[in-house]
């Protein structure tokens, strides 16, 4: 037994296996010769011992010698022939095969070296030839793929060099892995040559860390590889304000991608414009209010009746114009502000954590809402205000609430203790948002969100009230598809002119789609409530090309239908109508082959509005029900669940019976069916169409 901690001794190979094949065969024949000689000698000795004639011994000895030499010669001759025609050719053949297996040898094997070994030599020659052909084909494929990847790499590098926004790739510990020229210009401005961006340098040498760390932590916490975060960050030198978008690579362990755009000038311009509009609005609002008051308090005999009526009418029109001006300004602010969606609970928890890091204890309660706001900036603003409230007097029971109000939400930071006046709050808002941005007052956060903040008192509690203009209830829906970089340079090849019937399936463009409806009877008034589609180009699903929208059906959604797909009347209240969605989908599917699971059902809902829209869905249509029947036979079950189960495709529970979830499952199933169809010599559209027509009865039974 080996000592503990030591490896067991290596097992020795048997003695004979360490010899060459020819030596082992020689030893076998030598043993055979010895055995024959011994057997002959033993036989002669037994014969002599029974003869009992001493004079015959000489004859027996001579016979034994002659028999021994004869046996030895015979065995040696057989061994020589066996060695020459069997053992030696086997070793030669094995060496030739090993040379072709482990070295780049392509010379054909001479079959004559093993002409007495039956079919072994031709079989070895065929195996070597097949290996050589496979190796050559693999080398050619690798060379082609290397060339293609090199070409695509060069094209992507050219594209990235021309992209006007900065692109940065960072590792999980925030070290620079990749950056393009615009990114180097954005983050390196004002740092000097010695501190220009460089690989493996920390991103925080160039950009302030807080908003980046906050966004990164949030994305990691979501555990969603498709999630992204929009944020504002500032450069360490030069005080540039950059609009950034962060997306994790995989689960975040590999790092993240950051795109940057300089909005310093835009913010300054917007600030000047907003200041000008605010001054103009204020200069109009006050005189209009004064005139309206004067009209009401003027004595009846101060002006003639006609003049007084005209004066009142003009003042009313002026007030209405000021109101329209103010409304248009607020709407313009909301439309001009592209803000990410932030979960209310995340914002509340982040604010409590931020206050805790400053030694301020707080509690929070948030409705299940998605807020359209920059979570980092809102947290930074409210944390700074809470710290100032804490500093000006005894404050207790600090509490954060986020509640739904109308089409938006309201964030309230309430407490018991010192009261905050409007003048004090305005003074705080004029101060810098944080030490990292000394030139950016806190009020810019309000301007960016087209909102305002004010103090109020509710019961015995004082509060700061911050409305968020855009918010919606968080509803469990399938994860959104990422809008990744989309490319397929195969499409730059010469145009394909084959007729559709003769075109290979993997060379066609497809649009896979699915609908969710109010019911199962389009001819009795049922309508679409959700429509989703994805595109397949050159045999692969294009991740970024997705059509997914809710639809207002113009009628109530039955409760039984809602139980299936989870779509309610409230969810489609602001959705576009059926005609508009179908028109947009027709454009999305233009020039492609339509794919659906049980296509007649979905096509019926589309074709019933063709007359109203003045268009037709005349695209070719393939049905995965029929394709499944072609591959697996009619006796199988061909529902989407059964098909995906057979093909090893998993549909997440929350995505089943949603238009997008079922569309993705159908697309993945179709892509797996393509090589199976090709394996049955059904590689062209015409061949598949001829075959599926044999199974049309399935759809009639299904519908």
What secondary structure does DSSP assign to 571-639, as a single string? TTTTSPBHHHHHHHHHHHTTTSEEEETTHHHHHHHHHTTHHHHT----S-EEEHHHHHHHHH-TTS--S
Complete edge-to-edge strand list for the sheet that includes strand 369-372: 341-343, 369-372, 471-473
186: confidence class by pLDDT, cuts 50, 70, 90: confident
Phi, psi of 443 (to 5 degrees): -65, -20
The whole-angstrom separation of Cα 499 and Cα 397 is 75
Residue 159, pLDDT above cutoff 90: no
Among the four given CATH numbers 1.20.1250.20, 3.40.50.10490, 2.60.40.3710, 3.30.450.20, the one describing domain 163-262: 3.30.450.20
The whole-angstrom separation of Cα 23 and Cα 79 is 11
Cα of first residue to Cα of last residue in the chain, in angstroms, is 73
The model's pLDDT over 376-427, given as tens digits with 9 standing for 90+, comes to 788 888 988 988 888 887 778 889 999 988 768 999 999 888 788 888 888 8
484 by DSSP, 3-state: which? coil
- Residue 663 corresponds to which tokens in the numbers above? 């569309």
**Is domain 501-702 annotated with CATH 3.30.420.10?**
yes
Residue range 82-91: mean pLDDT, rounded: 80
The whole-angstrom separation of Cα 699 and Cα 703 is 6
Residue 2, pLDDT above cutoff 50: no
Q: Which residue has the higher pLDDT, 104 or 434?
A: 434
Residue range 619-635: mean pLDDT, rounded: 85
User: Are 512 and 596 contacting, i.e. CB atoms less than 8 angstroms apart?
Assistant: yes
| pLDDT winner (highest mean) among 36-40, 218-222, 694-698 | 36-40
Q: What is the pLDDT of residue 24?
A: 80
Residue 51, pLDDT above cutoff 80: no
Please give the torsion angle defined by the CA atoms of residues 561, 565, 571 and 573, in that order, rounded to the nearest 10 degrees: -40
Residue 146, pLDDT above cutoff 70: yes
Residue 493, pLDDT above cutoff 70: no
Question: By mean pLDDT, which of 131-135, 249-253, 408-412, 650-654 is the weakest?
Answer: 650-654
Helix 624-632 / helix 685-692 crossing angle, nearest 10 deg: 80
Q: Say whether 657 is catalytic.
A: yes
Q: What is the pLDDT of residue 589?
A: 92
Q: Which residue has the higher pLDDT, 434 or 31?
A: 31
Residue range 93-112: mean pLDDT, rounded: 65
Maximal C-alpha separation, the chain: 180
- Selecting among 174, 597, 657, 695, the annotated active-site residue is 657
- Residue 93 corresponds to which tokens in the numbers above? 């053949």
The whole-angstrom separation of Cα 284 and Cα 329 is 14
Q: Is 451 left (phi over 0), alpha (psi -120 to 50) or beta?
A: beta
Burial pattern 477-509, b for ≥16 Cβ within 10 A else e, equals bbeebeeeeeeeeeeeeeeeeeeeeebebeebe
Question: By mean pLDDT, which of 5-19, 23-37, 128-142, 441-455 is the weakest?
Answer: 5-19
Q: What is the pLDDT of residue 437?
A: 67
Q: Is 169 left (phi over 0), alpha (psi -120 to 50) or beta?
A: beta
The model's pLDDT over 114-134, given as tens digits with 9 standing for 90+, comes to 777 777 777 777 777 777 788
User: Are 67 and 1 contacting, i.e. CB atoms less than 8 angstroms apart?
Assistant: no
DSSP line for 69-105: HHHHHHHHHHHHHHIIIIIHHHHHHHHHHHHHHHS--
Q: What is the pLDDT of residue 104?
A: 58
The whole-angstrom separation of Cα 473 and Cα 454 is 25
234 by DSSP, 3-state: which? strand
Which letter does DSSP use for residue 238 in this model?
S
Q: Which residue has the higher pLDDT, 486 or 659?
A: 659
The whole-angstrom separation of Cα 391 and Cα 400 is 18
Residue 539 CA, distance from chain mean position: 18
584: confidence class by pLDDT, cuts 50, 70, 90: very high
| pLDDT winner (highest mean) among 63-67, 355-359, 393-397, 425-429 | 425-429
Compute the half-sphere exposure of residue 432: CA atoms within 13 Å on the CB side of its CA.
8
The whole-angstrom separation of Cα 27 and Cα 330 is 102
Complete edge-to-edge strand list for the sheet that includes strand 621-623: 540-550, 528-537, 510-517, 593-596, 621-623
Residue 354, pLDDT above cutoff 60: yes
Q: What is the pLDDT of residue 671?
A: 92
User: Are 537 and 488 contacting, i.e. CB atoms less than 8 angstroms apart?
Assistant: yes
Q: What is the pLDDT of residue 631?
A: 82
Number of neighbours of residue 32 by Cβ within 10 angstroms: 14
- What are the beta bridge partners of residue 416? 396
The whole-angstrom separation of Cα 663 and Cα 531 is 9
- What are the beta bridge partners of residue 595? 512, 622
Residue range 416-444: mean pLDDT, rounded: 82
Residue 641, pLDDT above cutoff 80: yes
Residue range 306-326: mean pLDDT, rounded: 75
The whole-angstrom separation of Cα 456 and Cα 463 is 5
Compute the half-sphere exposure of residue 547: CA atoms within 13 Å on the CB side of its CA.
23
The whole-angstrom separation of Cα 404 and Cα 474 is 11
- Residue 551 corresponds to which tokens in the numbers above? 């639809």
The whole-angstrom separation of Cα 437 and Cα 435 is 5
Q: What percent of the chain has pLDDT above 90?
A: 13
Put simply, whether the predicted model's pTM sits higher than 0.75 gets the answer no
Residue range 312-318: mean pLDDT, rounded: 76
The whole-angstrom separation of Cα 570 and Cα 260 is 37
User: Are 597 and 666 contacting, i.e. CB atoms less than 8 angstroms apart?
Assistant: yes
- Residue 640 corresponds to which tokens in the numbers above? 């989407």
Strands 621-623 and 593-596: parallel
Domain at 341-473: CATH code: 3.30.565.10
153: confidence class by pLDDT, cuts 50, 70, 90: confident
For the chain, what are the domain ranges?
A: 16-111, 163-262, 266-336, 341-473, 501-702
**Mean pLDDT rounded to a whole number for the chain:** 78
Q: What is the pLDDT of residue 642?
A: 84
Question: By mean pLDDT, which of 9-23, 354-368, 534-548, 631-645 is the weakest?
Answer: 9-23
Alpha-carbon torsion 695, 697, 702, 703, what sign?
positive
Q: What percent of the chain has pLDDT above 70?
A: 78
DSSP line for 497-514: ---GGGSBGGGS-EEEEE
Which letter does DSSP use for residue 470 in this model?
-
Q: What is the pLDDT of residue 3?
A: 41
Question: By mean pLDDT, which of 212-221, 313-322, 491-500 is the weakest?
Answer: 491-500
User: Are 72 and 102 contacting, i.e. CB atoms less than 8 angstroms apart?
Assistant: no
């Amino acid at each position: 037994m080996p000592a503990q901690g030591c490896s067991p001794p290596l097992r020795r190979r048997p003695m004979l296996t360490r010899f060459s094949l020819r030596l082992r065969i020689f030893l076998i024949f030598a043993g055979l010769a010895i055995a024959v000689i011994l057997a002959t000698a033993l036989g002669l000795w037994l014969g002599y011992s029974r003869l009992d004639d001493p004079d015959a011994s000489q004859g027996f000895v001579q016979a034994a010698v002659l028999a021994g030499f004869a046996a030895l010669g015979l065995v040696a001759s057989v061994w020589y022939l066996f060695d020459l025609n069997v053992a030696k050719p086997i070793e030669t053949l094995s060496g030739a095969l090993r040379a072709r297996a482990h070295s780049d040898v392509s010379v054909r094997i001479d079959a004559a070296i093993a002409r007495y070994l039956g079919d072994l030599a031709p079989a070895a020659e065929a195996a070597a030839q097949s290996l050589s052909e496979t190796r050559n084909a693999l080398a050619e494929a690798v060379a082609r793929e290397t060339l293609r990847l090199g070409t695509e790499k060069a094209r992507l590098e050219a594209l990235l060099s021309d992209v006007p926004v900065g692109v940065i790739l960072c590792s999980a510990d925030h070290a620079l892995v990749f950056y393009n020229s615009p990114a180097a210009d954005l983050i390196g401005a004002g740092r000097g040559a010695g501190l220009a961006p460089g690989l493996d340098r920390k991103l925080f040498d160039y950009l302030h860390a807080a908003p980046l760390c906050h966004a990164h932590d949030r994305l990691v916490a979501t555990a969603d590889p498709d999630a992204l975060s929009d944020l504002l960050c500032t450069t360490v030198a030069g005080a540039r304000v950059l609009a950034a978008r962060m997306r994790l690579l995989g689960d975040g362990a590999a790092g993240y991608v950051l795109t940057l755009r300089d909005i310093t000038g835009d913010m300054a311009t917007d600030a000047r414009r907003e200041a000008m509009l605010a001054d103009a609005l204020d200069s109009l609002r006050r005189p209009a209010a004064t005139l309206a008051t004067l009209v009401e308090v003027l004595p009846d005999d101060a002006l003639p009746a006609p003049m007084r009526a005209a004066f009142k009418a003009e003042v009313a029109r002026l007030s209405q114009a000021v109101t329209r001006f103010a409304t248009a300004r607020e709407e313009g602010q909301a439309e001009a502000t592209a803000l990410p969606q932030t979960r209310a609970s995340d914002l509340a928890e982040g604010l409590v954590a931020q206050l805790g890091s400053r030694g301020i204890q707080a509690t929070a309660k948030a409705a299940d809402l998605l807020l359209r706001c920059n979570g980092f900036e809102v947290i930074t603003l409210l944390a700074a205000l809470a710290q100032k409230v804490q500093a000006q007097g005894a404050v207790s029971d600090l509490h954060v609430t986020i509640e739904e109000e109308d089409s938006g939400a309201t964030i309230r930071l309430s407490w018991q203790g010192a009261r905050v006046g409007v003048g004090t709050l305005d003074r705080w808002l004029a101060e810098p948002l944080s030490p990292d941005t000394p030139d950016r007052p806190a009020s810019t956060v309000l301007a960016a969100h087209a909102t305002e903040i004010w103090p109020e008192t509710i019961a015995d509690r004082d509060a700061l009230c911050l409305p968020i203009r855009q918010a919606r209830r968080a509803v469990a829906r399938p994860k959104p598809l990422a809008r990744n970089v989309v490319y397929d340079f195969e499409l730059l090849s010469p145009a394909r002119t084959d007729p559709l019937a003769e075109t290979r399936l993997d060379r066609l463009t497809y649009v896979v789609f699915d609908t969710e409806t109010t019911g199962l009877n389009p001819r009795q008034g049922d309508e679409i409530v959700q429509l989703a589609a994805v595109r397949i180009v050159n045999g692969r699903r294009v991740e970024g090309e997705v059509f997914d929208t809710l639809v207002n059906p113009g009628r109530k959604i039955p409760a039984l239908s809602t139980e299936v797909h989870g779509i309610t009347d409230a969810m489609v209240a602001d959705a576009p109508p059926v005609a508009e969605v179908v028109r947009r989908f027709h454009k999305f599917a233009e020039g492609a082959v339509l794919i659906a699971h049980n296509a007649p059902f979905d096509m019926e809902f589309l074709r019933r509005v063709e007359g109203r829209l003045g268009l037709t869905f005349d695209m070719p249509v393939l049905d995965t029900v029929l394709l499944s029947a072609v591959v697996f036979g009619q006796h199988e079950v061909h529902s989407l669940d059964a098909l995906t189960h057979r093909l090893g495709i998993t549909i997440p529970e929350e995505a089943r019976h949603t238009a997008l979830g079922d569309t993705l499952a159908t697309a993945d199933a179709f892509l797996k069916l393509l090589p199976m169809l090709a394996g049955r010599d059904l590689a062209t559209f015409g061949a598949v169409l001829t075959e599926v027509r044999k199974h049309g009865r399935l759809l009639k039974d299904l519908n």
